[in-house]
A and B are shown apart, each in its own frame.
Chain A
């Protein structure tokens, strides 16, 4: 029998996309704002989240999921903020996908939360393909990494909603060219908001907190109409 060609037209990542869509629905129904943070190793994701969780502590109910190849180090650092933190060790897998998030959330009451942070393992390649169903994706890059990062990893900058420039307190020491970075981001993702911060001095965190507060407000479920008898 002759070979036959069967037309398929199927997205390779359909399974993850479906799982991500289911998670997104679950997050929406629970009224929780889900923020994922991606970057290359050493950009300061954990420090950024430490400061974020500490600043949010008095006003919001927060939690975090942390993905790493091995160890509980990051989770332990974040737990000091008092927020519940769950570590996902991915073993040899380089990213968190929707199914891993689903498993990690097992049994957690999402409606009790205002904001859930997902720290993805350090890499700028995979999370661009495997979205975990977040509502806001933040890509971090530190001033020590060089201004050309957006040109080298355009996919992650394309898939993220906002770029946060970390370790801005070191900018002068490393001769960081802020204008060049903005130009490079504009080239790969025109109009992308860029937020310079220092997790150590909390510089820039008031803008970041304002942005998160708006997102948390947006994530609140519509109030259910109250029927009054008589």
Chain B
């Protein structure tokens, strides 16, 4: 039961991508909020996200939107990894982080 808009239906395709972009912006905000408790100089390598079939989010569109949404943020460069979950789940399960000092 895919919500993906058929080709040529620009209006609903736009709406859908905008939806995932909104979700992606919320996701980036939610990850950035975690930064202070992770330590001073930390860089996020990977975001592990769990999405349920009833969350109303397309994983492909979200992965694409995440790149755009995160590009100009403190978590730029982080990769999004999406895992199937149950129900309406739309949660950040875990973050893979490295202490930035180690990169120097």
Chain A positions within 8 Å of B, measured between CB atoms, are 1-16, 41, 92-95, 123, 125-126, 128-130, 151-156, 158
Q: Which of B1, B26, B38, B101 lies in contact with A15, CB distance below 8 A?
A: B26
B59 at the interface (CB under 8 A from A): no
Known A-B contacts A15-B29, A154-B1, A155-B54; A93 and B18 likewise in contact (beta carbons under 8 Å) = yes
Contacts of B96 in A (CB 8 A): 3-6
Binary per-residue interface labels of chain B (87-104) against chain A in the complex, 1 for a CB within 8 Å, 0 otherwise: 000111111111101100
**Alpha-carbon gap, A128 to B56, bound state (A):** 7
Q: How many residues in B have their beta carbons less than 8 Å from beta carbons of A?
A: 33
Which secondary structure dominates chain A's binding surface?
mixed
- Pick the most buried of B95, B96, B99: most chain A CB atoms within 10 A of its CB: B95
Q: Is the CB of A12 within 8 A of B56?
A: no
Q: Is the CB of B97 within 8 A of A6?
A: yes
Known A-B contacts A9-B91, A12-B27, A14-B30; A129 and B3 likewise in contact (beta carbons under 8 Å) = no
Known A-B contacts A3-B97, A125-B56; A11 and B18 likewise in contact (beta carbons under 8 Å) = no
Contacts of A156 in B (CB 8 A): 56
Contacts of A5 in B (CB 8 A): 94-97
Chain B positions within 8 Å of A, measured between CB atoms, are 1, 3, 11, 15-16, 18-19, 22-23, 26-27, 29-30, 34, 38, 45, 49, 54-57, 90-99, 101-102
Besides the known contacts A3-B97, A126-B15, 19 further A-B residue pairs in the complex with CB atoms under 8 A apart? A1-B99, A2-B98, A3-B45, A4-B98, A6-B95, A11-B90, A13-B90, A15-B29, A15-B30, A92-B18, A94-B15, A125-B56, A126-B19, A126-B22, A128-B56, A129-B55, A129-B90, A155-B55, A158-B54
**Alpha-carbon gap, A92 to B22, bound state (A):** 10
Q: Is the CB of B91 within 8 A of A151?
A: no
**Alpha-carbon gap, A171 to B90, bound state (A):** 38
Contacts of B102 in A (CB 8 A): 1
Contacts of B101 in A (CB 8 A): 1
Q: Nearest B residue to A128 by beta-carbon distance? A: B56
Q: Nearest B residue to A151 by beta-carbon distance? A: B1
* 8 A-B interface contacts by CB (under 8 A): A11-B30, A12-B26, A13-B90, A16-B26, A92-B18, A94-B19, A130-B22, A155-B56
Instruction: State how many angstroms separate the Cβ of A149 from the closest Cβ of chain B.
Output: 12
**Alpha-carbon gap, A93 to B22, bound state (A):** 7
**Alpha-carbon gap, A46 to B68, bound state (A):** 34
Q: Which of A1, A8, A13, A128 lies in contact with B26, CB distance below 8 A?
A: A13
